[in-house]
Amino acid sequence: MQLVHTIAEMRVVRRELPTDKSIGFVPTMGYLHEGHLSLVKASNDNCDITIVSIYVNPSQFGPNEDLSSYPRDLERDLHLLSQYRVDYVFFPTNEQIYPPNYKTWVEVEGLSGILCGASRPGHFRGVATIVLKLVNIVKPDHIFMGSKDFQQVKVLQTMLRDLNLESRIVACPIVREADGLAMSSRNSYLDPAQRQRALCLSQAIKLVQQATASGERDATKLQQIAEEHCSQYGQVDYIQIVDSENLQPLKQVDSSSRIIMAVFIDRVRLIDNAALGE
């Protein structure tokens, strides 16, 4: 496991990798959990070489969001990664990624302003831009990402396709705690009582999946079931049943439709999603 601190060093590393080896890339913001590690494992299983990046990207945080408090523990991250076959860990600095006079931003229209993008203006612009930059530096064949960030995966798949990049995203299943909570670095913000209330997201998904399995097809009614449940434990940011491809809201649903949600547990904003037929 080689630590790579600069873009220039990463370029040298990349240039010297054999062209007949497949490169798997796992971009992260650090504070790794089992979800991230499942992506590393997927890369190990599918690619010859695995590169992990750890970079808390400031441009995807809004001015009132948790950039400064976002959890960081590089030593712990490296220890966790050392249990896998990670060839390179890339952690560039803000000064390298956004030097003075940085001016260029990527916008994926239509997908970036809805759902999480409506609550977090500029978030997906920041995500699309950093991932494009990292992809241009790392030049991976496959990019492994978690489906918890379902909208993020769709935004980035669209960006890669539209900009004619050949790197492809492999969307991996959500990893959950035993009681159903989707793993997230932000779960570390939760105190024990909040941690208990945070179960409302996965519980609401289950309730809606059950109602769908029982034949309910009306999206408004299904969303109400989820909203009524979550409102008992937190403040709903959005809960929507959408087309799994274009993320547009649906009126009538089927088992391939997706429920997608963001709920505040006090000040902690959590997201979750699932296909209704899962």
Question: Catalytic residues, which ones?
Answer: 36
Q: Are 74 and 54 in contact (CB under 8 A)?
A: yes
List residues binding its own copies (CB under 8 A): 7, 11, 19, 101-111, 128, 132-133, 136-137, 158-159, 162-166, 246
Euclidean distance between CA atoms 66 and 64, whole angstroms: 7
Which of 173, 249 has the CB closer to its own copies?
249
Which of 137, 253 has the CB closer to its own copies?
137
Side chain identity at 134, as an amino acid letter? L
Side chain identity at 249, as an amino acid letter? P
Which of 106, 274 has the CB closer to its own copies?
106
Euclidean distance between CA atoms 137 and 97, whole angstroms: 11
Q: Are 277 and 256 in contact (CB under 8 A)?
A: yes
At closest approach, how far in Å is the CB of 37 from its own copies?
27
Which of 95, 166 has the CB closer to its own copies?
166
Which of 138, 259 has the CB closer to its own copies?
138
At closest approach, how far in Å is the CB of 153 from its own copies?
15
Could you give the C-alpha distances from 32 to 27, 181, 193, in angstroms and in order?
11, 16, 23
Q: Is 215 left (phi over 0), alpha (psi -120 to 50) or beta?
A: left
At closest approach, how far in Å is the CB of 103 from its own copies?
5
At closest approach, how far in Å is the CB of 19 from its own copies?
7
Q: Are 234 and 261 in contact (CB under 8 A)?
A: no
Euclidean distance between CA atoms 185 and 189, whole angstroms: 8
Cα 175 → chain centroid? 12
At closest approach, how far in Å is the CB of 57 from its own copies?
14
